[in-house]
């Protein structure tokens, strides 16, 4: 069993309290509520961008389709206008004029059908453009929410980082001068347990460790300078007066 000055052992409890606080601060930084929300915002922004890109392609394709429909209507209208002009002039035989009249009727029906197609394409284009506008507005609103939340996150991180820096400075000052072997043991145990290394032992009881009868007997027989460790996890059991308010 190793030994270390009693005062140094008791100072480990102060170091442990600071390390616990540092772990809590680090956890607060890692699990800050803004991070999960920002991750959701990022996914939503990607989805909106995908929809916007797909809809933009649809708008482009539909505009080309509308241009073709307009051209088709214009071509039929121009042909009908020419035929009407010839018919109005009265040039040609009665048979030719009768055929032209039938063609004008056919062109009229063709033009009406093409205009129906043109109207349907225009409606689809209007809907697609409306969707682009809506998605763009959603993306802009999401961007504003993201910027606001990022500012809140940065402000929270700044406070946490300041608290962490102060705690780290406090820890360095607290560790300074403690027996090096004792500190090395503390760090080794803390690494093995994931954070807890020093536990206050008042009399023969501790809040964190269940002690066996053998351990209790060993504690009673141990000299003040002896470093006591629990059998189960290797925690350093720091003996303090039962009335002392150390953690």
Question: Which element (helix H / strand E) includes 236?
Answer: strand 236-240
Where are the chain's structural domains? 6-20+179-240, 32-174
Distance of CA 214 to the CA centre of its chain: 52
Give the single-character DSSP code of 227.
P
Does domain 32-174 fall under CATH 1.10.287.1700? My reply is yes
Q: Compute CA distances 50 → 57, 62, 132, whole Å.
A: 11, 18, 11
Average pLDDT value over all residues in the chain: 90
Query: What is the spatial distance between Cα 144 and Cα 157, in angstroms, rounded to a whole number?
Result: 20
Query: What is the spatial distance between Cα 145 and Cα 127, in angstroms, rounded to a whole number?
Result: 27
The pLDDT value recorded for residue 243 is: 61
Give the confidence band of 247 by pLDDT, cuts at 50, 70, 90: very low
What are the pLDDT digits (tens) for 191-243? 999 999 999 988 777 767 777 777 888 888 889 999 999 888 899 999 988 66
Answer yes or no: pTM beyond 0.75: no
In the chain, what percentage of residues exceed pLDDT 90? 68
What are the pLDDT digits (tens) for 29-65? 999 999 999 999 999 999 999 999 999 999 999 999 9
What are the pLDDT digits (tens) for 73-92? 899 888 888 778 777 777 66
Burial class of residue 11 (count of CB atoms within 10 Å of its CB; 0-12, 13-18, 19+): buried
The pLDDT value recorded for residue 104 is: 81
For residue 245, pLDDT over 60 is answered with no
CA gyration radius for the chain? 42
Are 240 and 14 spatial neighbours (Cβ–Cβ below 8 Å)?
Answer: no
Query: What is the spatial distance between Cα 115 and Cα 80, in angstroms, rounded to a whole number?
Result: 14
SS3 content of the chain, % helix, strand, coil (to 5): 75, 5, 20
Q: Compute CA distances 64 → 115, 124, 140, 200, 212, whole Å.
A: 16, 12, 28, 79, 85
Pick 93 or 41 by higher pLDDT. 41
Instruction: For strands 236-240 and 198-202, give the pairing.
Output: parallel
Are 184 and 227 spatial neighbours (Cβ–Cβ below 8 Å)?
Answer: no
């Amino acid at each position: 069993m190793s030994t270390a000055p009693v005062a140094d052992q008791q100072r480990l409890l102060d170091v442990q309290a600071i390390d616990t606080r540092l772990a809590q601060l680090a956890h607060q930084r890692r699990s800050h509520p803004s991070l999960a929300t920002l991750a959701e915002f990022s996914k939503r922004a990607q989805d909106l961008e995908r929809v916007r890109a797909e809809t933009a392609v649809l708008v482009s394709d539909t505009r080309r389709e509308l241009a073709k429909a307009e051209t088709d209507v214009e071509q039929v209208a121009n042909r009908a206008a020419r035929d009407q002009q010839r018919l109005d002039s009265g040039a040609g035989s009665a048979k030719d004029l009768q055929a032209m009249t039938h063609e004008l009727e056919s062109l009229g029906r063709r033009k009406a059908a093409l205009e129906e197609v043109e109207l349907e394409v225009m409606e689809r284009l209007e809907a697609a453009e409306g969707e682009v506008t809506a998605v763009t507005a959603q993306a802009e609103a999401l961007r504003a929410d993201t910027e606001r939340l990022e500012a809140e996150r940065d402000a929270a991180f700044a406070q946490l980082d300041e608290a962490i820096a102060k705690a780290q400075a406090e820890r360095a000052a607290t560790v300074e001068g403690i027996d090096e072997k004792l500190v090395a043991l503390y760090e080794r145990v803390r690494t093995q347990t994931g954070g807890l290394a020093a536990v206050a032992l008042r009399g023969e009881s501790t809040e964190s460790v269940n002690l066996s009868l053998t351990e209790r007997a060993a504690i009673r027989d141990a000299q003040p300078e002896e470093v006591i460790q629990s059998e189960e996890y290797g925690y350093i059991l720091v003996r303090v007066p039962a009335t002392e308010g150390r953690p």
